[in-house]
Every structure is written in C-alpha cells, then in structure tokens.
Structure 1
Amino acid sequence: MKIRPLFCVNGGTSIGFGHVSRTLSLINQYKRNNHVAFTLTLKSNVYSEKLKLKSDKLLQITSFNDPNGLQEAFNFISKNEINCIIVDLVESDFKQLSALRILLPDIFIVSITLFYFDEVIRFEDLSFFPSFNPIDFKVIRNDRKKLKVYSGKDYLVFSDKFKEYSSEDIVPTYDILITMGGTDPFGITVKAVKALQSSSYKVGIILSGKSEHFHQVQELIKGKSNFVLIEFSNDLPLLMRQSRVLLLNGGITRYEACLAKRPFIAISIHDLQYSITENLTNLGVGVNLGVHSNLETEAISQSVHELISMPNLYNEMVENMSNILDDFGSERIYHIIKREFNEKNN
C-alpha cells in the first residue's frame, strides 16, 4: 500500500517558520519518491502560500479545536483516501488534533516534535524527537499502547536550501547576523543591538515587524549605515552563509549554524536551553554565553569581538562544524515512516 500523507502544520509570527520549514522539506522528500502530498493548516498561517505551492491539495480551517473544522478535515481525509497523518505542531494544537484518532481509529499517525508532550495526550503511532543527543523515551499512549519514538540528531530536518549553498563560496555581507526567532518576545535582539551599537561591524538584524521591540530596534540603529534591519526573509540559509558570525538564542538555529558552517554566539532564553546548547558548544563550534536575563551588554560585545578578531579560533570552529551534522534527516524519516507504516498495514 502506497502512503498518501496529510501534513498537519502551522506557522506564524508567534511560533515562527520552523514547523513549516521542516514540513516543506518532508513534502519535497515524498514528492521525490512519487507520492501525492496533502496539507492541513490554519487560515491564520502566514506561510500558507508556500505550503500550497508544494502540496497537491491544501485545506485551511479556522482552528484545530473547531468541530466544524475537524469535520472538514475528516471529509478531506476520506475524499482523498489519505492513510497517513504527519503532525508538526506546537503542543496546544497537537492536543486538539486528538479528535482525529477517535474519528479515524485505524489511520497511521506520526508526530515530529521538539516538546516533551504529556503521555496522556499521546495518540500517534510513531514519533520523532529531533535533538542533538538521543533521549531514551518510554512513552505509553493514552490507550496504553507503546509509542515508538526515534530521537537524536539523525532526525533533524533542515531546509533544502542548505544543500544548494553548501558548496558555494559565498563572500560574507555581514560580520554579524542577529537572529532571535520570530517576534523575539524576550527582547534579546534589543540587548544584542545595544551591545554592538557603537561598533563598526556590519550587522544584519532579523526581526518581525510584528515584534513589540521592532520600533525600539529601529530607533537604536537610526542613522547607522552599518546596521540593516531585515523584517522578513524566506532564505535564512543564504543569510547565514552571507554572515561571518551568528548571534542567536537556540532552537533549530543552533544546528542550522553548524550546517551553514558559521560559528555562533548563543544567548539563551532559560537554563534548559543553555544546558542543551552546552552539549553543542562543548564540541567547539560556538560560544554558549549565558541566559539573557543574567547578561550585560558588555559581555556580548566582548564575545563578538574576541570571536571575530581571533581567526585561528574562528577557523577551528568552522572545521569542527564540518562533521557534526548532515542534511539527510528528511530522508531517514521518510524511510522509517514507510517501514513502520508497512508493518502496521501488512
């Protein structure tokens, strides 16, 4: 039986582009293997057009918690003979989709998550937990069936654009690229800009125009030609490759930096993010500076200066990045889903 997948995903200014980016890479993987691909997302998803371009059919509903929307999804699944659902959502949206398991008890459901979901809400057959270090999960679903979980760096999924730029010799446009993700609710971008405000470095700043800190950043860099504020980019891999050093907070961006071979300085949101980043920086690929609430701007400016002014250290970090990660995550996930799906349906 050939898999006919439905990808359930959402994205926007508050949760960012990461879920959609992973889904687009997986859709491409299914397309390369001659599958049709369907997508379910919300009407509020600002990246819907990108998904529409890649999908054979796209269904948009108002809410994953709306009974009418779920009925639409059920009809869509039945009409298109969909036999596999691949979910990449934040936990609150994931919970709301549990109704599909009740409506479709035999359908094969897969999740891709970076969250430690509560066991009592688990309803999928298979889960991927992309993380730098494998985690030993023993998860029991809400119906008491054991959930198979694959974790570790082999299942990190990156934009296909990293492949396009991997062999290109790109001359850096920026000395530093500040990218704190989405709307940056903690205002780390402001602190980073203040730290570099008096420098002569060429600085790119990625920050959504919907961020509550956007206008403050605009004022901070007013009249400074060496600062460029980038309100939106659909090509972060290129921006990374065009920059010498990345100033980031964490998440998938840490691993993307390694794939782009660009040393980074990480400013964490909280202690857990700091400890996860430490596992990576211990391999000599970047600087784990600390939790943002404990950092002074001087520490940021000093760290940036040291990394840029020490070419031997910088080049050593680039070399260390070469063998840490690869971009075959979507291919591995595809083959595991195929195998597990066939085992269940044969």
Structure 2
Amino acid sequence: MKSILIRTFGGKGIGYGHFYRCLSLAKAVKLIDKDIDIIFLINQDLKGLLDNIGFNFIVSNNLKEDSEKINRFGVNLFIFDAYLGDDRYLKTVKEKTKLMLIDDNNDIYDTSIPDIIYNGNIHAEKLGYSSDGNQLQLLGPKFLIMKEEYWNRGTNRNISKNGILITTGGTDEYGISLRILKQLKNLGSKIKVIIGPGYKDDYIKKFEDSVTDNIKLIYKPNSLKDHILSSKIVITAGGSTIYEVLSQKSIPIIFSLADNQDLICNELSNMGVKYLGKYPDINYLLLEGIIKELLDKGVNENNKIYDLVDGKGAKLVAGRIVEEIYL
C-alpha cells in the first residue's frame, strides 16, 4: 500500500488555512485512489478538527520528530504545508522520500528542493520558480485546492444575493471584524459576521453587545459557502476565502493581514477589486463609500475575476501526485 504523510500546522495565531487546504487535498486523493494511506502530522491545536474526520493523525509540535515518522511509516510522499521549516528540513525530508512543498509566495524556502512544488494562487506563475527540469510544478489557479463543497462550480440561481458578510477566517487577533462592523452597522444593510473557531470569548462578547436588528452573528460554521452565496458583498482578508467568494460570484472587498496575502491583494486590486489596505493601516473609513457604490452597481457576473477559479483544482492536483507516487 502506498502512503502519504501530510505535515501542517494551525490554530490561534496561525490560522486554519494550511490545514483545510491539506484536508481538501487528502479527500481528493482518496477519491482517486481509496487504497492510499494518508496520515496527518499536526500540532495539538488541530487535534479537535481531525477527530471523526476519517483520517489517521499524529500530534507532534516538533518538526525534528518528522524524520522518525517518515521512517516508521515507509512514506511514499511527504507533503509539507507550513512556514515553520527551513531548507535544511526540506533536504532532510527529501533524502528519505519524495517531497511536495505547498507554497504561497516563493519567499521562505529554496523551492528547487522539493520533487513537487504547488502554488495555486493567481500570482504563482509570476514568482520565478526554477528547478532542474525534473520537478513537477503545479502553479496557478487552475490547480487551486479548494474545500470540497466548492469542487462543483456554479451558483444556485434561485438564491437572492443581499447584504454584507464580514469574515477574517478562523481567528481575528487584531480585532478587524469588530472595527468593520462598527463602521457599517448604521448603514441599514443586513450584515452577517462570521465568528471563527479561534475567536476569544471576551472578543465574542463585544460582538454580542453590538448586535442590532440588521446584524446576525454566525458562530463557528462548518462551511462559509451558503453564507457567501447569499451575500451580495463579502469583506474578507486576501487569503483562501477570497477564492471562495469569487467562486460564488459575490462582490469582494479585501484587506491584507500578512505578507503572504499581499500579492493576492495586489493582483485583485489591479483587476478592480476594492482594497482597504494592509494591517495595521487598513482604511476603515473607505468602507461606507465603497459599500454604497457597490450596492448601487450590483453584481456583474461577467466580470473576468469570476473566471479565475473553477473548483476543480483539488482533483487535478490529486491526480498528478497520485501519478507521481506510482512512478
């Protein structure tokens, strides 16, 4: 039996995007070859998210223990999705098995090291990835790994889009959602706010104290898809959620929380998406004018930004790496 070991991290302060990307890829691999054994190597904060999912996992916060795990399980492919390693770590892994690096900006590692390099972002092909020609490169939005519910492209035409959705992902360490809400709560529009699994209790209480008739709090949803689909405007960070917004043809307003989101925001801003800036310099005062303008215009479903993703990337990537395993 062939086996894949997936190493990733997530939780408060890190977010959950790396984990959910890996989980989607694992599900896609199982669709293609159910006999491949997949084991997750995760930190303690992710343990609760893998309980009852159907994948085996090992809790380990220490990257130095990964080599031993590779030896123990006779791994055919090691998938690494985290910013916490270094080139020496990648080389050590590659000496033991095939290595796939899931990357975002080509700014942390020597990306010529892995056997497979993945970057599904819209800017991936502009980042100058180089190799000796033997590396499998899966670059650009056609390879974008999205959550399972987005694999079949298309929106429900019977659902009416209205109101505004605010989300910062699983966490909100900088209090951005609350500042956005306070800026918009008097507009009169219906507003939904996603309360992520990493939100602290005292922070949630501040939202609950701010609720009025036009504001609804969505607590730790298993999926954002229906909330995105039913919203005319979605205010979100420039991470993986932005692609979910585009797939459902809602209007995005974006901001950046970290360096790894800057390139996505820059590309989309050049394509006409409204951009509020990067933390700590997010310009909340722009919001009211932007919202009024976008509500007046409505959704232009023919905008080319909605053609960037089709939801098929996870299966496409899974197919390619399964082929690589059997070479």
Shorter chain as denominator, the TM-score bin is: 0.7 to 0.9
Query: Could you report, residue by residue, the CA deviation over 1:238-297 in whole angstroms, capped at 9, with x for unpaired residues?
Result: 22112111011211222221111111111233687455323224434x322333544543
1:131 Cα deviation from its structure 2 partner:
1.6
Is structure 2 residue 203 aligned with structure 1 residue 214? yes
1:210 Cα deviation from its structure 2 partner:
4.3
CA 136–155 in structure 1, closer or farther in 2 if over 3 Å, else same: same
Query: Could you report, residue by residue, the CA deviation over 1:305-326 in whole angstroms, capped at 9, with x for unpaired residues?
Result: 2211223xx2x25653442221
Partner Cα distance (1:107, 1:308) in 2: 52
The one of 292, 306, 309 aligned to 1:325: 309
Unpaired runs of at least 5, structure 1: none
2:307 match: secondary structure: coil
Partner Cα distance (1:182, 1:299) in 2: 24
**1:168 aligns to what?**
156
- Note the aligned Cα RMSD (angstroms): 3.3
Partner Cα distance (2:227, 2:219) in 1: 13
Partner Cα distance (1:29, 1:270) in 2: 28
CA 270–74 in structure 1, closer or farther in 2 if over 3 Å, else same: closer
Q: Which amino acid aligns with 2:104?
A: L
Query: Could you report, residue by residue, the CA deviation over 1:48-101 in whole angstroms, capped at 9, with x for unpaired residues?
Result: 54475242xx1322323354x753x245413xxx3112222x211576954862
Is structure 2 residue 295 aligned with structure 1 residue 308? yes
Whichever of the two has the greater Rg, that structure is 1
**1:257 aligns to what?**
245
2:45 match: secondary structure: coil
The one of 213, 218, 221 aligned to 1:225: 213
Partner Cα distance (1:24, 1:218) in 2: 30
Partner Cα distance (2:164, 2:121) in 1: 26
The one of 84, 107, 129 aligned to 2:97: 107
8 Å Cα contact 1:240-1:262 kept in structure 2: yes
8 Å Cα contact 2:6-2:39 kept in structure 1: yes
CA 225–165 in structure 1, closer or farther in 2 if over 3 Å, else same: farther
Is structure 2 residue 135 aligned with structure 1 residue 135? no
CA 308–295 in structure 1, closer or farther in 2 if over 3 Å, else same: same
Partner Cα distance (1:5, 1:47) in 2: 18
Q: Which amino acid aligns with 1:11?
A: G
1:91 match: secondary structure: coil
Identity of aligned residues (%): 19
8 Å Cα contact 2:253-2:276 kept in structure 1: yes
1:116 match: secondary structure: coil
CA 215–341 in structure 1, closer or farther in 2 if over 3 Å, else same: closer
Q: Equivalent residues in 2 for 1:240-251 (5 A)?
A: 240-251=228-239
CA 265–318 in structure 1, closer or farther in 2 if over 3 Å, else same: farther
8 Å Cα contact 1:7-1:23 kept in structure 2: yes
CA 51–38 in structure 1, closer or farther in 2 if over 3 Å, else same: farther
CA 96–257 in structure 1, closer or farther in 2 if over 3 Å, else same: farther
8 Å Cα contact 1:268-1:291 kept in structure 2: yes
Partner Cα distance (1:174, 1:46) in 2: 34
Query: Could you report, residue by residue, the CA deviation over 1:194-224 in whole angstroms, capped at 9, with x for unpaired residues?
Result: 11121222111113364467246426514x1
Is structure 2 residue 316 aligned with structure 1 residue 336? no
2:84 match: secondary structure: helix
Find runs of 4+ consecutive structure 1 residues off by over 6 angstroms.
none
Q: Equivalent residues in 2 for 1:32-51 (5 A)?
A: 32-34=31-33, 35-46=35-46, 48-50=48-50
**1:53 aligns to what?**
53
8 Å Cα contact 1:30-1:37 kept in structure 2: no
1:17 Cα deviation from its structure 2 partner:
2.6
Q: Which amino acid aligns with 1:9?
A: T
